[in-house]
Amino acid sequence: MSAASQDVATRNGIFARALIYAVLILFAVYYLLPLYVMVVNSLKPLDEIRQGNMLALPQQWTIAPWLSAWSTAQIGVSPTGLKPYFLNSVMMVVPAVALSTILGALNGYVLTKWRFKGDNIVFGLMLLACFIPFQIVLIPSARILGLTGLAGTITGLVLIHAIYGLGFTTLFFRNYYEAFPTELVRAAQIDGASFFQIFRRILLPSSGPIIVVTVIWQFTNIWNDFLFGSSFSGFNSIPLTVALNNLVNSSTGVKEYNVHFAGAILAALPTLIVYIVSGRYFVRGLMAGAVKG
């Protein structure tokens, strides 16, 4: 290849790379613009927002809307802020994620290392749960929660989320354990290891990537859920997403848009932090469970 051809190829490569970066930057700006608007306007006084120009930086910076959204904002009829509902969501999400992850891991373990007749049918039925719309299970779930006395409680919400997420967690762990050497399990059986000893000492220590995937998936879905929270929660078990809706749609007093923006960011912060801290492990875990060998 001549020097002229190399120069042309180099210039074309530089131009193509610059074009790609320009497009990516454009998409990034478009994607981050709503977040920018929320953050900027959550730090403005209400009078400044009413002047328009929501893209402008605050002339007077203030964190009063954040403090109000957290502790004194009007949620329905009570000026409690989002704090008690944030705690409700934490008490709902943590056990629901833990329960669905553990049960999904056990299901994946049984369906791959303790095969039985009809195991593929059982897996197919559990996989079907991943495609059932939320709305279809509302009435049966309400009936079951009513019969068990769990309606309107955080425990009832934990149960609903854990069961609904079981199809996804089983799918993740089943695909991951499918690539795990069955010979190790058989060797442990020959040495006298029990069902739970094999699971705890052999499979779980190597399940870090898929556990991260499952926790991120379940945490995001449960934390952001609105339908189950609005349908099955009681006065003392309202999750954060429902409280945020009540804050924005409250008919009491003035519409404090800066407080609404701050509340929305507070509601989104946990999932944002989870993705920032462990997002790269999410992709690694999915790839680890996607191929065999």
pLDDT tens digits, residue range 165-180? 999 999 999 989 988 8
Do 145 and 48 lie in one domain? The reply is: no
Note the pLDDT of residue 29: 92
Give the tens place of pLDDT for each residue, 191-202.
Answer: 888 889 999 998
Integer Cα distance of 164 and 187 in angstroms? 35
Do 254 and 179 lie in one domain? The reply is: yes
Do 57 and 181 lie in one domain? The reply is: no
Do 142 and 229 lie in one domain? The reply is: yes
Note the pLDDT of residue 104: 94
Do 49 and 143 lie in one domain? The reply is: no
Does 70 reside within a domain?
no
Give the end of a domain, one of 32, 64, 96: 64
In this predicted structure, the answer to whether residue 89 has a pLDDT above a threshold of 90 is yes
Note the pLDDT of residue 102: 95
Does 289 reside within a domain?
no
Does 245 reside within a domain?
yes
88 Cβ partners below 8 Å, 6+ apart? Answer: 154, 233, 236, 237, 238, 239, 240
118 Cβ partners below 8 Å, 6+ apart? Answer: none
Do 52 and 159 lie in one domain? The reply is: no
Q: How confident is the model at residue 130 (pLDDT cuts 50, 70, 90)?
A: confident
Does 77 reside within a domain?
no
Does 89 reside within a domain?
yes
In this predicted structure, the answer to whether residue 86 has a pLDDT above a threshold of 60 is yes
Q: How confident is the model at residue 290 (pLDDT cuts 50, 70, 90)?
A: low
Do 248 and 218 lie in one domain? The reply is: yes
Does 72 reside within a domain?
no
Note the pLDDT of residue 252: 62
User: What is the sign of the dihedral through the CA atoms of 19, 24, 29 and 30?
Assistant: positive
**Residues 155, 92 contacting (CB under 8 angstroms):** no
Do 227 and 140 lie in one domain? The reply is: yes
In this predicted structure, the answer to whether residue 289 has a pLDDT above a threshold of 60 is no
Give the end of a domain, one of 34, 64, 94: 64
Does 290 reside within a domain?
no
Note the pLDDT of residue 292: 47
Residue 144: which domain range? Answer: 83-281
Note the pLDDT of residue 269: 92
Return mean pLDDT, the chain: 87
User: How many domains does the structure of the chain reveal?
Assistant: 2
Across residues 283-289, what is the average pLDDT?
Answer: 63
Give the end of a domain, one of 64, 96, 111: 64
Does 287 reside within a domain?
no
Q: How confident is the model at residue 75 (pLDDT cuts 50, 70, 90)?
A: confident
CATH number of the domain bearing residue 223: 1.10.3720.10
Across residues 45-72, what is the average pLDDT?
Answer: 89
Burial class (CB in 10 A: 0-12, 13-18, 19+), 230: middle
Do 133 and 227 lie in one domain? The reply is: yes
Do 99 and 222 lie in one domain? The reply is: yes
Ranges 79-93, 133-147, 245-259: which has the least confidence: 245-259
Do 16 and 101 lie in one domain? The reply is: no
Alpha carbons within 13 angstroms on the beta-carbon side of residue 201 total 11
Q: Which two tokens stand for residue 55?
A: 């893209």
- What percentage of the chain exceeds 90 in pLDDT? 48
In this predicted structure, the answer to whether residue 1 has a pLDDT above a threshold of 60 is no
Note the pLDDT of residue 293: 42
Phi, psi of 252 (to 5 degrees): -95, 125
Do 50 and 134 lie in one domain? The reply is: no
